[in-house]
Structure 1
């Protein structure tokens, strides 16, 4: 799995620190505050794939991404975050790369909704947003 200076990325669902995910989504994420802990737990459990970003020195989880997919041709990227103390060091870019470029969905059509981060996602082939929120990267036919 991918690494960035000072960080490693892992898609082992058992390694995800659910307390970190819950704290970020309930306190910091503008998009996640409506959910309760049970909903977040079910979303993690039902995800097609999850990727955690881990600080190499401490081993603590500092970022997260989850995806929903049919496992064949399309995927939806959700709940992507890097804790504020770890932003600006390449962890976010590497986290997105680990999810969409390094895994089984590399050739899928990817979709997401966000009001920010458009320039980050453009680096991975996502088109500019439709109505300021919806972004899509076409599938890569091989």
Structure 2
């Protein structure tokens, strides 16, 4: 792999995160730059993927957590020109299976890539989970999933 992963929050390129979130992320285009920067600043953990030759950030994930038992995985992405290199898997593995949250209950919301997340133990919520959806209105909404692929 010509990429390295790092959870140093000072290394995260906020311009790359903003560019992706504001143009490509179906789940986050409703956010403005100030909100994205606030989320970066308040995240429990961030992991970036960087090109070894240039140091440019090509992937990202973040989590919010109580630091003890529960974490929420959010804003996982890999830039188009770096996809297909295993970076997405590495970001998720680093976040949920390596580091301080390995024993946590992890939660995420996604309309796609279910097969990817299932590799790391994510599955449909059980009977102990209820959710109150946010009041924001996404810029675009993907078609709802009718079934969960196992």
TM (normalized to structure 1)? 0.87
Where is the strand percentage greater, Structure 1 or Structure 2?
1
**Residues in 2 aligned to 1:129 and 1:55: alpha-carbon distance in whole angstroms:** 35
**Residues in 1 aligned to 2:99 and 2:61: alpha-carbon distance in whole angstroms:** 13
**Residues in 1 aligned to 2:94 and 2:145: alpha-carbon distance in whole angstroms:** 25
**Residues in 2 aligned to 1:128 and 1:91: alpha-carbon distance in whole angstroms:** 24
Which of 3, 9, 14 is the matching residue for 1:7?
3
Helix, strand or coil: the match of 1:8? Answer: strand
Say whether residues 1:56 and 2:52 are aligned partners: yes
Structure 2 CA distance for partners of 1:10 and 1:16, relative to 1, 3 Å: same
Which of 17, 21, 25 is the matching residue for 1:29?
25
Q: Please list every run of 5 or more consecutive structure 2 residues that lacks an aligned counterpart in the other structure.
A: 127-143
Shift of 1:128: 4.1
**Residues in 2 aligned to 1:86 and 1:92: alpha-carbon distance in whole angstroms:** 10
**Residues in 1 aligned to 2:70 and 2:124: alpha-carbon distance in whole angstroms:** 18
In structure 2, the partner of 1:140 is none
Higher RCO, Cα 8 Å, sep 6+: 2
In structure 2, the partner of 1:16 is 12
CA deviation vs aligned residue, 1:87-139 (integer Å, no higher than 9, x gap): 11101000111111111000100000000010111110111478749x9xxxx
TM (normalized to structure 2)? 0.82
Which of 34, 40, 65 is the matching residue for 2:36?
40
The list of structure 1 runs, each at least 4 consecutive aligned residues, that deviate by more than 6 angstroms after superposition, is none
Q: How many residue pairs were aligned?
A: 130
In structure 1, the partner of 2:91 is 95
